[in-house]
Amino acid sequence: MKRTKLLIPGPVELDSEVLLAMARPLMGHRTPDFEEILQDCWRLLREVYQTRNDVAIITGSGTSAMEAALASVVKEGDEVVSITGGKFGERLAEIAAAFGAKVKKVEVEWGGTFSLEEVERAVAESNAVAVTLTHNETSTGVLHDASAIGRLAREYDLLFIADCITSVGGDEVRTDEWGIDLCITGSQKCLAAPPGLGFVAVSERAWEVIENNPGKRAYYLDLSRYRKALEKGTTPYTPSVSLIYGLHAALRKIEEETLEARIRRHRRLARATREAARAMNLELFAAEECASNTVTAIKIPPHLSDDDVRGALKREHGMLVAGGQAQLKGKIFRIGHMGNVTFAELVQVLAALELVLKKAGHDLELGAGVAAAQEAFSD
Ligand SMILES: Cc1ncc(COP(=O)(O)O)c(C=O)c1O
C-alpha cells in the first residue's frame, strides 16, 4: 500500500519508538509492572496539562472524554452556557443537551472568537452551573482565550469545561492557572500518541460536584469510578494495554523535547504556514489575532475545487491535508502541524501545494510560499 503522509489535525504521524512500544507483549493490567507505566503516564500527563489535578485515562476517542466530563457533572435541567463557533463547540453543546442540560449557546461567527461581554451577559442572565469552550476549534483553525473564560467562571462560580483536544501538548494549556475544572484531551493530536484514548483532568471543585451528583446518567464514563481506581493506581475497567504503551512512549518523547520547546515549535510552524499561505495568494480562514498554533485553515480560491487542492496533493504527492467540515466543506482546507511535525516536513507540503495550485491555474510564483515560510520560521 502506498504510504500517505498525514498532515491532518489528527491522527498524526507516530514516532517509530511509539509504534514499536505498541508491538510489545501484553502485561496483566492489574500488576505492579503495569501500574508503574500508568503512574508514569499520570505524572507526564500532569506536566503537559500543567496541573496538579487527577487525570482520568479513558479508553475511547476524544469524544468519550467530552461525554465523560458532561455526563459526570450535569443533571437533568441544569443550565449550561456553551460557547460555539465551530463543529466541536457545537458538539460540546449537543452532548450537554443529550445529558439533560438546558443549553444556552453563545454563538460565535466561524473563523472568529467570542466577545467576552456577550459571554458574561449570557452567564449573568442564566442560572448556569457550567460553561463550555473549545479551546482550539479545529474545524475553523481558531484558538480561543481559555484564561478569560476561566476568570469569568470563577467570578460566577461556574464549572469551566474546556475541550483542549487539539491544544494540550502542542500549545499552552495552563489547566490550574486558568481554572479549567474539566480539561479534556485526546491521544491522537498534539500528544502524538495512537488514537483511542481520551483524558480529563478534574479539579477538586469538579470532583465535589461529580461525587454529589446522584442524577448523573453515566456508568462506564462516570468519572467518579475513575477517581476510585486512580487512588488504587489503576483504571476502573480493562485498559487498552497496547495504547497505554504507545501513550507512555509518546509522553516520554514530549518530556525529552520539553513542553516549552514543543510549544515554541508549534507556534513557529503555525506562523510559517500562515505566511506561506499569504505569499501563495491564498486567504486564511481564521482571523490573525485568534489563529490556531496547531492547525491552519485556508480558503480554497473560488476558481478551484477541493479536488484541485486536496485531491491533487494526495494523488500526486502522497500528502493528506484535511478538508472543511459542515458548512465549510469544499470551502477551506486545513493543514495540521501538530504533534511531531518538523519544519522540513512542513516545507514538503508547502512546496507540493505550490505545484498543485499552479497546475490548477492559481496565480502564484513557485517558491514564494516556501521562502515566506523560511523567513517566518527563522524569526
Ligand atoms: C477540538 C476537537 N474536539 C473534539 C474532537 C473529537 O475527537 P475524537 O475524534 O477523538 O473523538 C476533535 C477531533 O478532531 C477536535 O479536534
pLDDT in tens, 44-95: 999 999 999 999 999 999 999 999 999 999 999 999 999 999 999 999 999 9
Provide the 3-class DSSP secondary structure of residue 222.
coil
CA 277–ligand 1 middle distance (angstroms)? 25
Helices 343-359 and 259-279 pack at an angle, to 10 degrees, of: 20
Provide the 3-class DSSP secondary structure of residue 224.
helix
Q: Is the CB of 95 under 6 A from ligand 1?
A: no
Cα distance between residue 150 and residue 162, in whole Å: 9
Q: Which residues contact 161 (CB under 8 A, 6 or more apart)?
A: 69, 70, 73, 92, 130, 131, 132, 133, 180, 181, 182, 184
- pLDDT at res. 117: 98
Task: Evaluate whether 167 touches 173 at the Cβ level (below 8 Å).
Answer: yes
What are the sequence ranges of the domains in the chain?
16-256, 259-378
Closest CA to 138 of 171, 105, 94: 171
The yes-or-no verdict on residue 294 having pLDDT over 90 is yes
Q: Is the CB of 86 under 6 A from ligand 1?
A: no
Q: Is the CB of 138 under 6 A from ligand 1?
A: yes
CA 134–ligand 1 middle distance (angstroms)? 10
What's the predicted TM-score (pTM) here?
0.98
What percentage of the chain exceeds 90 in pLDDT?
98
Q: What is the mean pLDDT of residues 22-30?
A: 97
For residue 209, name the pLDDT band (cuts at 50, 70, 90): very high
List of E strands, the chain? 5-6, 54-59, 79-83, 102-106, 130-134, 136-137, 142-143, 159-163, 182-186, 197-202, 295-299, 319-320, 322-323, 332-336
The yes-or-no verdict on residue 195 having pLDDT over 80 is yes
The yes-or-no verdict on residue 191 having pLDDT over 80 is yes
Q: Which residues contact 344 (CB under 8 A, 6 or more apart)?
A: none
Query: Among 95, 143, 165, 337, which is best to mutate for testing ligand 1, by the most ligand atoms less than 8 A from CB?
Result: 165
What backbone phi and psi angles, to 5 degrees, belong to 122? -60, -40
Q: Give the model confidence (pLDDT) of 341-364 as tens digits.
A: 999 999 999 999 999 999 999 999
Q: Determine the CATH number of domain 16-256.
A: 3.40.640.10
Per DSSP bridges, beta strands 102-106 and 79-83 are parallel
Task: Evaluate whether 283 touches 299 at the Cβ level (below 8 Å).
Answer: yes
Task: Evaluate whether 216 touches 2 at the Cβ level (below 8 Å).
Answer: no
Q: Which residues contact 207 (CB under 8 A, 6 or more apart)?
A: 54, 224, 227
Q: Is the CB of 179 under 6 A from ligand 1?
A: no
Q: Give the model confidence (pLDDT) of 261-276 as tens digits.
A: 999 999 999 999 999 9
Q: Give the model confidence (pLDDT) of 103-136 as tens digits.
A: 999 999 999 999 999 999 999 999 999 999 999 9
Q: What is the mean pLDDT of residues 289-294?
A: 98
From residue 20, alpha-carbon distances to 27, 87, 127, 272 in Å are 15, 34, 50, 32
Per DSSP bridges, beta strands 159-163 and 182-186 are parallel
Closest CA to 361 of 321, 322, 304: 304
- pLDDT at res. 3: 86
The yes-or-no verdict on residue 42 having pLDDT over 80 is yes
**Cis ω before 11 (30° cut-off from 0):** yes
Q: Is the CB of 166 under 6 A from ligand 1?
A: yes
The yes-or-no verdict on residue 239 having pLDDT over 80 is yes
Element (H, E) at 88: helix 87-98
- pLDDT at res. 25: 98
Residue indicated by cell numbers 491532518: 8
Q: Give the model confidence (pLDDT) of 295-340 as tens digits.
A: 999 999 999 999 999 999 999 999 999 999 999 999 999 999 999 9
For residue 2, name the pLDDT band (cuts at 50, 70, 90): confident
The yes-or-no verdict on residue 1 having pLDDT over 80 is no
Task: Evaluate whether 55 touches 235 at the Cβ level (below 8 Å).
Answer: no
- pLDDT at res. 379: 73
- pLDDT at res. 62: 98
Computed over every residue of the chain, the mean pLDDT equals 97
Q: Which fold would CATH assign to domain 259-378?
A: Aspartate Aminotransferase, domain 1 (3.90.1150)
Q: What is the mean pLDDT of residues 151-170?
A: 98
